[in-house]
């Protein structure tokens, strides 16, 4: 029962259930938290990309923090996304997250503005200077259109600016560069999480400490099994679990060409949680395109084949 920042394990990015009127569905949100805790996860990450953070106004962000942190009540540490364009705006979110009791903050590189490695470093230094909470860097080029350079990350780790990394870049060689770099520089307390939910076994094999899997909303038990198998050295079991999850992950592609890939993936996660009885509505935030009935049926098939319904 601690609020220490997590350094390993399965830490799913918690979806944000919405009512049909697109308010935060707090009852569903607490059920989702229970579902994840019951699955054995080692922490929670709220207000990340899978939480639709880009679509949540500040009052919704605050509601999510209050509800989740109140409900979790210290059972596991809760990381909070502080996603905004640059440090001066991120710092405002950091203050709110700290007041709510988050165990750590997760921030991306600057976006909207064209950035530069020196500016990325200044950005994280400014965030860290403004908060007492540990700061995790979130590497997400698909959203922010720049890649966090390994040497910048390691330098910021050595300075004590960064407590860890969530790497959702899909660049496994880059991930390995950070893992080997921290070993070479004696920075073992710098925590490395992968957000690449389809290569978790190999990321752990390379030396990553944990995973932040969007699909973990749908099947947290499986990611915990995968992680625990790897921890005890049963890599074959880890791989089998990963391969099963790989197939389940196909549900993110059910959305047709009439929507963006984000609408499809987030819509599928929510449809799956709805079909599994965890949340009351599969509603996604505006301006995302909702899945239609045939697409939801495909989600159902994926769940059925994975024995999740």
Please report, as ranges, the residues that interact with a second copy according to CB under 8 A. Answer: 22, 49, 54-58, 60, 83, 85-89, 91-92, 110-116, 118-123, 125-126, 142-145, 170-173, 176-177, 180, 196, 198-199, 201-202, 205-206, 235, 239, 243, 246-247, 257-263, 285-289
* Sign of the torsion formed by the C-alpha atoms of 138, 119, 163 and 184: positive
The rounded distance, in Å, linking the Cα atoms of 228 and 235 is 10
Of 10 and 18, the one with the shorter C-beta distance to a second copy is 18
Of 287 and 307, the one with the shorter C-beta distance to a second copy is 287
Q: Which two tokens stand for residue 28?
A: 């569903």
CB of 258 to a second copy, least distance (A): 6
CB of 120 to a second copy, least distance (A): 7
Q: Which two tokens stand for residue 102?
A: 């988050």
Residue 44, SS3? strand
Of 67 and 150, the one with the shorter C-beta distance to a second copy is 150
DSSP one-letter code for 4: P
Of 101 and 262, the one with the shorter C-beta distance to a second copy is 262
Give me the phi and psi of 193, to 5 degrees please: -110, 140
* Sign of the torsion formed by the C-alpha atoms of 65, 71, 73 and 75: negative
Of 37 and 206, the one with the shorter C-beta distance to a second copy is 206
CB 119 within 8 A of CB 45: no
193: left (phi over 0), alpha (psi -120 to 50) or beta: beta
The rounded distance, in Å, linking the Cα atoms of 257 and 295 is 12
CB of 196 to a second copy, least distance (A): 6
CB of 53 to a second copy, least distance (A): 8
The rounded distance, in Å, linking the Cα atoms of 136 and 90 is 13
The rounded distance, in Å, linking the Cα atoms of 214 and 99 is 26
User: How far is C-alpha 31 from the geometric centre of its chain's CA atoms?
Assistant: 18
CB of 274 to a second copy, least distance (A): 21
Widest Cα–Cα separation across the chain: 53
Of 5 and 14, the one with the shorter C-beta distance to a second copy is 14
CB of 195 to a second copy, least distance (A): 12
CB of 185 to a second copy, least distance (A): 13
Of 66 and 172, the one with the shorter C-beta distance to a second copy is 172
């Amino acid at each position: 029962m601690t609020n220490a920042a997590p350094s390993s394990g399965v830490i799913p990015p918690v979806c944000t259930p919405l009512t049909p009127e697109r308010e935060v569905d707090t009852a569903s949100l607490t059920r989702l938290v229970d579902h994840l805790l019951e699955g054995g996860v080692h922490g929670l990450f709220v207000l990340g990309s899978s939480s639709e953070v880009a679509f949540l106004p500040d009052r919704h962000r605050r509601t999510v923090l209050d509800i989740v942190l109140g409900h979790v009540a210290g059972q596991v540490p809760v990381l909070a996304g502080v996603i905004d364009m640059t440090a001066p705006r991120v710092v405002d979110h950091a203050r709110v997250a700290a007041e709510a009791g988050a165990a750590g903050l997760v921030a991306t590189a600057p976006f909207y503005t064209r950035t530069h490695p020196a500016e990325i470093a200044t950005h994280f230094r400014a965030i860290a200077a403004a908060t007492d909470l540990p700061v995790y860097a979130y590497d997400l080029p698909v959203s922010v259109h720049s890649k966090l350079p390994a040497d910048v990350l390691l330098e910021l780790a050595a300075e004590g600016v960064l407590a860890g990394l969530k790497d959702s870049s899909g660049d496994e060689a880059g991930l390995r560069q950070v893992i080997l770099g921290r070993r070479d520089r004696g920075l073992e307390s710098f925590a490395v999480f992968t957000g690449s939910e389809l290569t978790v076994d190999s990321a752990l094999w390379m030396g990553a400490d944990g995973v932040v899997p969007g699909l973990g909303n749908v099947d947290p038990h499986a990611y915990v099994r995968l992680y625990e198998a790897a921890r005890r050295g049963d890599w074959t079991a880890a791989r089998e679990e990963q391969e099963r999850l790989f197939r389940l992950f196909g549900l993110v592609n059910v959305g047709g060409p009439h929507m963006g890939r984000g609408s499809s993936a987030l819509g599928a996660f929510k449809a799956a949680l709805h079909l599994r009885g965890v949340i009351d509505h599969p509603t996604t935030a505006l301006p995302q395109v909702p899945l239609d009935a045939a697409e939801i049926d495909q989600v159902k098939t994926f769940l059925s084949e994975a024995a999740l319904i």
